[in-house]
Amino acid sequence: MSKYAEQYLQKITSMFEQTVSDSSEAIERAAALMGEAIAADKLVHVIGTGGHSNLGAEEMFWRAGGLVHIDALLDPGTSLMHGAVRSNKVERTGGYAKAVLDSYNIVDGVLIIVNAYGINTMTIEAALEAKARSIPTIGVTSRAFGEKVPPGHKARHPSGKNLYDIVDVFVDSHMPYGDALVEFEGLDQKVAPSSTLANCFAVNLLVVETVKYLLDHGFEPPLWQSANLPGGEEANEKYQRKFGGRIKHLI
């Protein structure tokens, strides 16, 4: 393996370690919000508000060892499948976040907002709209990135706010400014992004700590099994029947 691959491994590992050490208290508070909702049979909604941040929502949904009560808001508007440049334009469109929350009928539970940069219009409006609906919010984003993007930048929400300024619980993913990590001699642009790994690591920590919270409070956590293992589909069927009408993408 080249020194560049080693550099990537070292920087990703350091990023993960920072998240564990610096965000452990926030993750525990977020897990308590999620655990309380699940114990009350409410859904934990998760939205990735733009581009590759959608993968953070997908990571939590319908996963082996994942929480059944996860409701992923997979709106096609910001998906790269429908156009990369288009997704950038949509995530900067005012009013779009409210329309998405309305279409998924988000009225209670908890909302996790995953966006590595934490500055675009859809991200900020999703958090503000959830607050207007008295829904607790958890933000997974990077302070290091958000605080360095200058005021007035066209990627920002007009308010200039950052996601970590608004949410009830902020989990710092520690993605560095610029996203990419690996430096090559003679190249100005770094290589190998970190945002998806940062987001997915953080949201899986939320799952782990939520399961611990539920067990500590005497509640058996409802978990999906892999449908590719013997007995997996059969074990999942009871949850599919129960939540098929409540979780939009569980079809």
Instruction: Break the chain into its structural domains and give their ranges.
Output: 23-243
Q: What is the SS3 string spanning 80-110?
A: HHHCHHHHHHHHCCCCHHHHHHHHCCCCCCE
45, pLDDT greater than 90: yes
Q: What is the pLDDT of residues 2-21, one digit of tens each?
A: 999 999 999 999 999 999 99
CATH superfamily of 23-243: Glucose-6-phosphate isomerase like protein; domain 1 (3.40.50.10490)
Q: Which helix (H) or strand (E) holds 198?
A: helix 195-216
Q: What is the pLDDT of residues 119-146, one digit of tens each?
A: 999 999 999 999 999 999 999 999 988 8
38, pLDDT greater than 90: yes
Query: How far is the C-alpha of 20 from the C-alpha of 209, rounded, in Å?
Result: 12
